Amino acid sequence: MSEQKIKCIGIIMDGNRRWARAHNKPVFEGHSEGYKKLQDVVRWARESKIEHVAAYAFSAENWQRSEEEVGYLMKLFRFILSNETKKMIDEHVRVCFIGDRSRFSEDIQKGMEKMERETAVDFDITLHVAMSYGGRAEIIAATNALINEGVKSVTEEEFSKKLWSYPMPDPDLIIRTGGEQRLSGFLPWQTVYSELFFVEAFWPEFQQEEFVKIIGNFGARERRMGR
């Protein structure tokens, strides 16, 4: 069997809060460590010649968390948007944001646009960050966009172009850490043929050895795509 090329991996970064509690640390430190781990994984993906990483950073349901936790996450997002663009450029990482941006404050929305614009010049890997993202909301938004255009009949290709993630490739595989075995609304349209890998370790504990093992296991799987 020939080795299958991976174009895109999806990551459900679960377990930041549980990692913090297990180490007697405040929740915000779990999120901070989670961001550091995401940087590691993007580097590992580049080393594996993978061109796209889609990371589930903040779901639509996460707005319902405590005011303190949401406030810290917004502070972390602002720090990343204000301070990490040069690092992304230096490391040739393009950043794209997927989700309902209207729920963020104006300064965060502008920060997203600025990071996307400035990292799109010279890159060899794209990090798609799902922020305020919900899979059903994405599908409804795409449907409404087509309705507003007066479309009477639509193909899968035309529908895909209206998704928040477009033109990101569909993930070849999804990795979820933290021991849970579900997708939790992550890219439901795009993951119909994704291979799924569930890892017990909390996200901040996820190691390169496990990442490499998953990439190897993916290569051994037969992907028939319904054929």
- Find residue 225's DSSP bridge partners: none
**How far is the C-alpha of 141 from the C-alpha of 176, rounded, in Å?**
25
**182 labelled binding-site residue:** yes
Signed CA dihedral, 208, 221, 123, 12: sign only: negative
Rounded to an integer, what distance in angstroms lies between the CA atom of residue 46 and that of residue 53?
Answer: 9
Is 32 annotated as ligand-binding? no
Q: Which of 14, 24, 144, 170 is catalytic?
A: 14
203 is in an annotated binding site: no
Flag whether 65 is marked binding. Answer: yes
Contacts of 9 (CB under 8 A, 6+ apart): 45, 50, 52, 53, 54, 171, 172, 173, 174, 175
Query: Is 31 known as a binding-site position?
Result: yes
106 marked ligand binding residue:
no
Ligand-binding site membership of 60 (annotated): yes
Give, for 76, the enclosing helix (H) or strand (E).
helix 67-83
- To the question of whether residue 101 is assigned a binding role by annotation, the answer is no
Give backbone dihedrals phi and psi of 157, rounded to 5 degrees, phi first: -65, -45
Residue 14 is among the residues annotated as catalytic for this protein: yes
The reply to whether 40 sits in an annotated binding site is no
Catalytic residue among 62, 100, 124, 144: 62
Residue stretches of the annotated binding site for Mg(2+): 14, 195
Residue stretches of the annotated binding site for substrate: 15-19, 31, 59-61, 63, 65, 176, 182-184
Residue stretches of the annotated binding site: 14-19, 31, 59-61, 63, 65, 176, 182-184, 195
Residues designated catalytic: 14, 62
